[in-house]
Structure 1
């Protein structure tokens, strides 16, 4: 997968050199350079290793988004939200949460999904869409907060997972 933008961003944010990245990932400097300039795809094994080595939330989002064929949250990068301002991302997240609450009309979900009317099915798709938008912006918020306040997203994720296991949300 083409990951030039992700590599360039990681190098800028962490002052990482191509030579250091090559050593970290057990590859050549020329391979890193080719990937950085989008002349070569990153292989899955290098992507996996890089996610283990570099604890950078934005890089993690970019790599996982690329390798999941867009299934995971993209890094917001447009002009509508100033991602560098964590408060702007918080405001956008609050707006998305409010939009989910507006469309989540619980009475439309009482019926067995196999017997749902077209209107109930459309309501489910609307809730999905709004929930996905909220989840993606919240994922960006988590990444931005970990960067702005310099804490480990990996450690925070581990704490959440530990809590969920303790409350039997996950096994």
Structure 2
């Protein structure tokens, strides 16, 4: 995976401005850029450069959905997207129910797939089963990530702070170097 040097961030900027009840001028001041550049970002006439994205993540660290949208765009789709489609209810209870359902579906698929064979010895049906398992895991991850974003937003519990708290435990368990 590579981080793109620039990305279209119009939707992320538009959503942030609405969410924070902020003007283009305020965002420009916050990021030390021109209000015209904010307008260009907002309307997808200019791509946001990586350095501005990093700065905006620091400035708007209390806006998990904005950060999620930037990470998705700059990672070229490697991270989970912010789920905002017409079939998604963004309430914490709905996200919780969807996450639980997707986790259950992923666990059920994990139980049906055997990873004991070396990858070089699997047939096409087994490979398709592994791909389906990956799909289920990715759907679960998307809802878990979106639920965490909502919990951070509504309860003021930063994801980054929780991860930093967990890092020593993960190191102690030998999960990290």
2:125 paired with 1:116:
no
Match of 1:65 among 56, 72, 94: 72
Q: Runs of 5+ in structure 1 lacking a partner?
A: none
* Among candidates 6, 15, 21, match of residue 9 of structure 1: 15
Cα 1:109–1:86 shift into 2, 3 Å? same
Relative to 1, partners in 2 of residues 1:18 and 1:86: Cα closer, same or farther, differing over 3 Å? same
Residue by residue over 1:106-140, the C-alpha shift from the partner in whole angstroms, topping out at 9 and shown as x without a partner, is 66221112212222212211111110111111100
1:2-37 residue CA offsets vs partner (Å, 9 max, x unmatched): 212211221222233323322332211221122122
CA contact (8 A) 1:25 1:49 kept: yes
Stretch moving more, 88-97 or 52-61 = 52-61
Residue aligning to 1:44? 50
Q: Does structure 2 retain, via aligned residues, the 8 Å contact 1:109–1:120? A: no
Tell me how far apart the structure 2 counterparts of residues 112 and 80 of structure 1 sit (CA, whole Å): 39
Change (3 A) 1:165 1:16: farther
Q: Using structure 2 for the length normalisation, give the TM-score.
A: 0.87
Report how many aligned residue pairs link the two structures: 170
Q: Which moved more, 1:130-139 or 1:149-158?
A: 149-158
Deviation >6 Å, runs of 4+:
none
1:27 corresponding residue in structure 2: 33
Task: Look up the SS of the partner of 2:33 in the other structure.
Answer: coil
Q: Structure 2: any 5+ residue segments left out of the alignment?
A: 1-6
Matches within 5 A, 1:11-160: 11-55=17-61, 56-83=63-90, 85-105=91-111, 108-160=114-166
Cα RMSD (Å) of the superposition? 1.7
Q: 2-side partners of 1:69 and 1:5: how far apart?
A: 15
